[in-house]
């Protein structure tokens, strides 16, 4: 058995691939010869992302918040080699005293339940030697004030990853836990506040900068290509949990 999987001619499906970490991962996989399929809810954003990917890449507009849509998508595309799940809407943060619990329940939908639905409908179609890579965040290990819900989701993803690795073996199932990354995820923070937030995060981080999505994409690529890790969640956070 080879110690790394070549991505040449492998099908890599990135759910949440129109922007941010997902698009960076799709680009990195395509650069290694993978046939990339990206999915997001918005056709225009898919089209824009496809302009940045090689010919032969494909994109589908699918609202991943509904299991039925996910099921239909995987029926349509058939077999694949590697599944990456990075879909997520803007963060909802808030202190516990004022949390809207109904809204907070909804926040688990796309990151947790839809990731699980994607695995449910994709796993039987993953070729031998394939993998699944999910997304969490370092906020579960080092939450800040206001992160009660977001941190809970992060930690759920770690447990889900371990349970799926056991159940779906020998398909490998892993997870990436990014720290701060410069993406549209932070789009609901006003621009001036966002820049100030990135600057103060950079000052605090051991590596002294907030990640670009391409730096996080390397983690997904590693987990896809290597052959021996499963059930693992890797932190890529510029030393955030130590600072
Ligand atoms: N950025 C960070 O600092 C950071 C840190 C830790 C963890 N993370 C996690 O990493 C993941 C990716 O985040 P990112 O920073 O790359 O965010 P992003 O740039 O906002 O990308 C999110 C992706 O999800 C897609 N999406 C949103 N709603 C969707 C839906 N209903 N159906 C299908 N696709 C949908 C978006 O596309 P459309 O809008 O076109 O649908 C986009 O492609 C998230 O789970 C996030 O929590 C991010």
**Atom number in ligand 1 closest to CA 38:** 43
Helix (H, G, I), strand (E, B) or coil at 64: coil
Reported as a single tens digit per residue, the pLDDT across 18-53 is 999 999 999 999 999 999 999 999 999 999 999 999
Residue 139 Cα: closest atom of ligand 1: 6
Model confidence at 1, pLDDT cuts 50, 70, 90, reads: low
Distance 87 CA to ligand 1 centre (A): 4
pLDDT of residue 221: 98
Q: How far is the CA of 2 from the centre of ligand 1 (A)?
A: 33
Span between the terminal Cα atoms of the chain, in Å? 40
> What does the pLDDT average to over 82-102?
94
Q: What predicted TM-score, i.e. pTM, was given to this entire model?
A: 0.98
| Residue given tokens 């990195």 in the structure block | 28
Helix, strand or coil, per DSSP, at residue 61: strand
Q: Is it the case that residue 198 has pLDDT exceeding 60?
A: yes
Using the Cα atoms of residue 147, residue 148, residue 149 and residue 155 in order, give the sign of their dihedral: positive
Cβ of 20 below 6 Å from ligand 1: yes
Closest CA to 240 of 213, 191, 192, 200: 200
- Distances from the Cα of 6 to the Cα of 9, 25, 38, 133, angstroms: 9, 15, 20, 16
Q: Is the CB of 59 under 6 A from ligand 1?
A: no
When pLDDT is cut at 50, 70 and 90, the band that residue 210 belongs to is very high
Assess whether pLDDT exceeds 90 at residue 70: yes
3-class SS at 182? coil
Q: Which tokens in the block code for residue 222?
A: 């590693």
Q: Does 6 participate in catalysis according to the annotation?
A: no
Ligand 1 center to 135 CA (angstroms)? 10
* Interatomic CA distance for residues 162 and 173, integer angstroms: 8
Following DSSP, what letter does each residue of 132-170 receive, concatenated? EEEE--GGGTS--TT-HHHHHHHHHHHHHHHHHHHHHTT
Across 56-81, average pLDDT: 98
Query: Does residue 94 register a pLDDT over 80?
Result: yes
pLDDT of residue 92: 83
d(CA 183, CA 165) in angstroms, rounded, equals: 29
Query: Which one is catalytic: 136, 227, 229, 243?
Result: 136
> Which strands sit side by side in the sheet containing 172-178, from one edge to the other?
58-61, 35-40, 11-15, 80-85, 126-135, 172-178, 233-236
At residue 55, the pLDDT reads 96
Average pLDDT for the chain = 96
Ligand 1: does its nearest atom lie under 6 Å from the Cβ of 135?
A: yes
pLDDT category of residue 2 using cuts at 50, 70 and 90? low
Q: Is 238 in the pocket of ligand 1 (CB under 6 A)?
A: no
Predicted confidence at residue 22, as pLDDT, reads 98
Ligand 1 within 6 A of CB of 164 = no
What is the pLDDT averaged over residues 67-74? 98
pLDDT at position 117 is 98
Helix (H) or strand (E) holding 25: helix 20-31
Rounded Cα distance, 133 and 137, in Å: 13
Q: Is 32 in the pocket of ligand 1 (CB under 6 A)?
A: no
**Domains along the chain?**
11-180+212-236 (3.40.50.720)
Measured in Å, residue 88 CA sits from the centre of ligand 1 at: 4
With a CB cutoff of 8 Å and minimum separation 6, the contacts of 173 are 119, 131, 132, 133, 134, 161, 164, 165, 230, 231
Q: Tens digits of per-residue pLDDT, 138-195?
A: 999 999 999 999 999 999 999 999 999 999 999 999 999 999 999 999 988 888 999 9
Cα–ligand 1 centroid distance for 213 (angstroms): 11
């Amino acid at each position: 058995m080879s110690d790394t999987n070549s991505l040449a001619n492998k099908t890599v499906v990135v759910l949440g691939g129109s922007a941010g970490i997902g698009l960076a991962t799709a680009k990195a996989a395509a650069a290694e010869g993978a046939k990339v399929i990206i999915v997001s809810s918005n056709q225009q954003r898919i089209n824009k992302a496809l302009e940045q990917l090689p010919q032969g890449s494909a994109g589908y507009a699918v609202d991943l918040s509904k299991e039925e849509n996910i099921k239909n998508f995987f029926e349509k595309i058939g077999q694949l080699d590697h599944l990456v799940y990075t879909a997520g809407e803007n963060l909802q943060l808030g202190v516990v005293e004022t949390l809207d619990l109904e809204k907070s329940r909804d926040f688990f939908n796309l990151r947790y339940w839809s990731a699980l639905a994607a695995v449910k409908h994709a796993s039987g179609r993953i070729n031998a030697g394939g993998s699944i890579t999910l997304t969490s965040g370092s906020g579960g290990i080092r939450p800040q004030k206001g992160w009660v819900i977001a941190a809970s989701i992060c930690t759920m993803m770690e447990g889900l990853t371990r349970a799926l690795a056991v159940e779906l073996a020998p398909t490998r199932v892993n997870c990436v836990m990014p720290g701060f990354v410069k993406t549209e995820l932070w789009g609901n923070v006003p621009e001036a506040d966002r820049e100030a937030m990135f600057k103060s995060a950079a000052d605090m981080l051991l590596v002294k900068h907030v990640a670009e999505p391409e730096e996080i994409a390397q983690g997904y690529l590693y987990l896809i290509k290597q052959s021996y890790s499963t059930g693992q969640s890797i932190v890529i956070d510029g030393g955030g949990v130590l600072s």
